[in-house]
Structure 1
Amino acid sequence: MNKIIKTIIALPIIAITSIVYIKAKSYFEEYTSDFIDESFYSATLKEDRKIFIRRPRSYDEDKSYPLIIKTDGNFNLEQWDKQLKELGLKGKAEDSIVVAIPNQFWTDTRNRDLVPPYARKDVNIEARPASENDPEIFGRADKFLAFIEKELLPYIESKYPINDNKILTGFSAGGSFVLYTFTTKPELFTGYFAFSPAAWYDKSVVVKEFKKQLPTLTGVPKYLYLSLGSEENEIITGSFQGLLKALEQSAPENIYWGHSYSAGAGHNENPSISIPKAITEYYQFRKKYFPDWKQTALAE
């Protein structure tokens, strides 16, 4: 009898311990990094936000550096670190400060923050009926973009020597956020990388808005890089092809772009393969349209 009682008592304890262990493991994997972890309060989002800051090798406060703002937190952050080091050593890119923004850990904020305000936060393939117009159902990428523009960028620029070479990169929902930023605040960044962008929301409303806004983009040259895994599903592949068609038909003269398909790669594998391709093509663009970079890179 004592054994049975002990077993009955032990089982919930073991279950609770396992849950705590799994949650703690997930926290350290998703919400801490191997770089510099900082948190600050966002008045725009009305919450504390954590960021992971990766500094270049041989970081020197007397030099200025490119800045890469990355959604998706730790996802492929080590690959970014590796590729920036390797391509920098080869003179194919400038080593950069990378600021990765993780999703909030205790609450589900990914779709809230990254889905554009013309698509449903609770993402859906079917088009949104006109009768569904409650603001609460939409993504709030507009607020998240305001957080980046008005709070994150000034915060980073106050602490680190940043130059005007800035890139925004994101994967999946983060890719749709990149497209949203590219068409609404193109002046914030020079380079935009959207890996496997989730442009299929609400019957590809992201594609439709992208195509509508694309011809209005003016000003200094900008570079957009898109990529997709060759093994991704038909829905995301169809929306990706819609983005390419929009660029072919409607991109103004100051917009330069490239794309790739990662052979044999699925949704989660594509970004890691795409990172060196995107960086390399972006710096080829910079050498042509921002020739001072080449001289600076060689001098270093």
Structure 2
Amino acid sequence: MKNLIFLLSILFTFSCNSQKKQSKKEENKFTNITSKVLEDAVLAGGKLIRVTAFPSKNITPRPIDVWLPENYSSAKKYAVLYMHDGQNLFDATTTWNKQEWRIDEVATKLMKEGTVKDFIVVGIHNIPKIRWLDLFPEKAMQHLSEEEISEAQSISKTKVALKDFKGDEYLQFLVEELKPYIDKTYSVYTNKENTFVMGSSMGGLMSMYAISEYPTLFQGAACLSTHWVGAMPRENNPFPKAIFKYVSENVPDANSHKIYFDYGDKTLDQFYPQYASKVDSIYSSNGYSAKNFKNLFFEGTNHSENAWQKRVHIPLTFLLKK
């Protein structure tokens, strides 16, 4: 009996030491990541914190912005919304087209009203030259023939091969590198029920891809002006067929997820209405209803941050409603 107790005490000590080492290792992972408050950011509320070049073994390092709401406090927990194209979210004075999503304005208003749960926003900047390769749902390429894959070269300034697509690596970065850092650094809930993803255009595709690939990590996804055409619109486009094949085979469980889509009919959005019935069919046939699925049409709206800012309160409320 004494030997058994002695053995158990050794095992317990070993287990505790292993946990401490693992915890120390996790802490050390982030010691080289430095951030700063953007004091000159033009915001309606809260504050913006930036990691200038977030290190990654999966994708090209890039800036990460973290928006904290007014009166952010470590004494409480917050939900987390991950967003693509992070440089276009908060401050129009710094964007290429002088437009923004106005996420800080809308989020501040919704939280003050008590409409949504308290949350922070993590904006992943894009790198324009490789944005398409980063945000394309990579596994959809498996549904293309070799001839169709070769057509991808016509929409890129450089020769494109399958290895150039980084959608899977982008998601690995998000869930294996960025999320652990956010979970460790900020006072947030880490469970699926409080983790969401949102984007527009190719970012809409990637948000769909994120919740499809990692349904145990994301409860909800909002996909605005989702770029179902996959690349530049053209005749005999093989990408929509491949994307929808992937979508239909990877629908997250309707009992524990929320998915939002929308589209307009002007500029690039004019190519999206033709796919609305297909989107509706896939999700409704997999158990989704008005309670946890939306695919909304905004007539007369175009493909721009100005258009998305006018309706972003709808997906935010849909995903984060108290």
- Shared topology, TM-score over 0.5? yes
Q: 1:33 to 1:44 in 2, by over 3 A?
A: farther
The yes-or-no answer on 1:267 pairing with 2:296 is: no
Structure 1 residue 281, shift from structure 2 partner: 2.2
1:186-216 CA deviation, whole Å, 9 max, x = no partner? Answer: 11111100001112223412222112222xx
TM-score (ref. length: structure 1): 0.73
1:21-45 CA deviation, whole Å, 9 max, x = no partner? Answer: xxxxxxxxxxx96521113211222
**In 1, Cα distance between the equivalents of 2:247 and 2:57?**
29
**In 2, Cα distance between the equivalents of 1:119 and 1:272?**
29
Q: Secondary structure at the match of 1:42?
A: coil
1:130 is matched with 146
1:166 is matched with 195
The yes-or-no answer on 1:228 pairing with 2:257 is: no
**In 2, Cα distance between the equivalents of 1:62 and 1:71?**
28
Q: 1:223 to 1:261 in 2, by over 3 A?
A: same
The yes-or-no answer on 1:44 pairing with 2:66 is: no
Structure 1 residue 220, shift from structure 2 partner: 5.8
What root-mean-square deviation, in Å, do the aligned CA atoms of Structure 1 and Structure 2 show?
2.7
Structure 1 residue 248, shift from structure 2 partner: 2.1
Residues 175 and 193, structure 1, Cα contact 8 Å, conserved in 2: yes
**In 2, Cα distance between the equivalents of 1:225 and 1:211?**
16
Residues 197 and 240, structure 1, Cα contact 8 Å, conserved in 2: no
The yes-or-no answer on 1:86 pairing with 2:109 is: yes
Residues 195 and 274, structure 1, Cα contact 8 Å, conserved in 2: no
2:228 is matched with 199
The yes-or-no answer on 1:100 pairing with 2:123 is: yes
Residues 169 and 192, structure 1, Cα contact 8 Å, conserved in 2: yes
**In 2, Cα distance between the equivalents of 1:112 and 1:130?**
18
**In 2, Cα distance between the equivalents of 1:44 and 1:50?**
15
Query: Which stretches of structure 1, 4 residues or longer, exceed 6 Å deviation after superposition?
Result: none
**In 1, Cα distance between the equivalents of 2:71 and 2:254?**
34
TM-score (ref. length: structure 2): 0.68
1:92-124 CA deviation, whole Å, 9 max, x = no partner? Answer: 01232111011126xx1211210011457xxxx
Q: Secondary structure at the match of 1:162?
A: coil
Q: Secondary structure at the match of 2:301?
A: coil
Structure 1 residue 249, shift from structure 2 partner: 2.2
1:183 is matched with 212
Percent of residue pairs bearing the same amino acid type: 21
**In 1, Cα distance between the equivalents of 2:176 and 2:120?**
19
Structure 1 residue 135, shift from structure 2 partner: 4.5
Structure 1 residue 128, shift from structure 2 partner: 4.8
